[in-house]
């Protein structure tokens, strides 16, 4: 059974930093790209970032480029999202998602970790 | 950036009805389109990939069609558990983009 377990969310002040983690299990982790997708309270889904299976390629939405960094440790089956210079508009539930073998759609999702940016 | 536009935003329906949801891309995405279902308090679930292929475990009452810029998700006969928000998403270009969602309500 595929499982994705996010952690690291919390309350942070504007301008602060936070690192999210997502531990994966139940599939060949090193064989798939991974992604982060967020959902602001009461809003729709927004893709944030993706990382290739070997971490040689990373992609970001314009809204987070230069502030967020995605990385992965295949030995720990974990993907990370380092967030800095956080803004109020980054407040959201952050989902970790497994990218399908087709590349670009997301066939398994975690339950999310909530990030609140507020003073 | 490819903009995905879903219509309608909200649809009031009844169990047993046939429902069609629309998704339009601002430029061609070929068949690189997925549909997701999200129920309150839950993570999204992949329903359809490559515009018309059902994901693992998805009931046959869900079907997708379209290519290029215009896509539809059809639920042939609504079950009570189908009342949720549905999102389309393109994987043709970076950045990956989602539609704003269509909410099915009773």
CB contact B98 to A (< 8 Å) = yes
Q: What is the C-alpha to C-alpha distance for residues B37 and B21, in angstroms, rounded to an integer?
A: 12
Whole-number Å distance between alpha carbons of B45 and B37: 5
Q: In chain A, what residues touch B55 (CB-CB under 8 Å)?
A: 107
User: What is residue A31's three-state secondary structure?
Assistant: helix
Considering only CB atoms, A109 lies closest to which of B32, B44, B99, namely B44
Structure tokens at A80: 């990370």
Q: Encoding tokens for residue A75? A: 């030995």
DSSP string, A60-102: E-TTTTTTEEEEEETTTTEEEEEE-S--GGG-EEEEEEEEPTT
B53 touches chain A (CB under 8 A): no
Q: Tell me the per-residue pLDDT of B46-85, one tens digit each, with 9 for 90 and over.
A: 999 999 999 999 999 999 999 999 999 999 999 999 999 9
Q: Which long-range contacts (CB under 8 A, 24 or more apart) does A69-75 make?
A: A70/A36, A72/A34, A74/A29, A74/A30
Distance between CA atoms of residues B57 and B49, nearest Å: 13
Task: Using a CB–CB cutoff of 8 Å, tell me whether B13 touches chain A.
Answer: no
Nearest to B11 by CA among B101, B77, B81, B72: B101
In our burial notation (b when 16+ CB lie closer than 10 A, e otherwise), range B40-70 reads eeebbbbbbbbbbebbeebeeebbbebeebe
- For residue B96, what is the DSSP state? P
A80-98 pLDDT per residue, tens: 999 999 999 999 999 999 9
| Interface contact A44-B46, CB threshold 8 A | no
When pLDDT is cut at 50, 70 and 90, the band that residue B106 belongs to is: confident
**B64 in A contact zone (CB under 8 Å):** no
Per-residue pLDDT of chain A (119 residues; tens, 9 = 90+): 999 999 999 999 999 999 999 999 999 999 999 999 999 999 999 999 999 999 999 999 999 999 999 999 999 999 999 999 999 999 999 999 999 988 889 999 999 999 999 99
The answer for A67, left when phi > 0, alpha when psi is -120 to 50, beta otherwise, is alpha
């Amino acid at each position: 059974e595929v499982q994705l377990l996010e952690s690291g969310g919390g309350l942070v002040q504007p301008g602060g930093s936070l690192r999210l983690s997502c531990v994966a299990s139940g599939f060949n982790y090193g064989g798939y790209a991974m992604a982060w997708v967020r959902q602001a309270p009461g809003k729709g889904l927004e893709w944030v970032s993706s990382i290739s299976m070997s971490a040689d390629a990373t992609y970001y939405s314009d809204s987070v480029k230069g502030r967020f960094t995605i990385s992965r440790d295949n030995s720990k089956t974990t993907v990370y999202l380092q967030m800095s210079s956080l803004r109020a508009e980054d407040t959201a539930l952050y989902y970790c998602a497994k990218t399908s073998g087709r590349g670009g759609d997301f066939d398994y999702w975690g339950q999310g970790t909530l990030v609140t940016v507020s003073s | 950036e490819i903009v995905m536009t879903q219509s309608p935003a909200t649809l009031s329906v009844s169990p047993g009805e046939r429902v069609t949801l629309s998704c339009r891309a601002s430029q061609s995405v070929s068949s690189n389109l997925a549909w997701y279902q999200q129920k309150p308090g839950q993570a999204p679930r992949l329903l359809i990939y490559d515009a018309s292929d059902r994901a693992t475990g998805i009931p046959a009452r869900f079907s997708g069609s379209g290519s290029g810029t215009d896509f539809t998700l059809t639920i042939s006969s609504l079950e009570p558990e189908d009342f949720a928000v549905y999102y389309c998403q393109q994987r043709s270009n970076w950045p990956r983009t989602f539609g704003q969602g269509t909410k099915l309500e009773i």
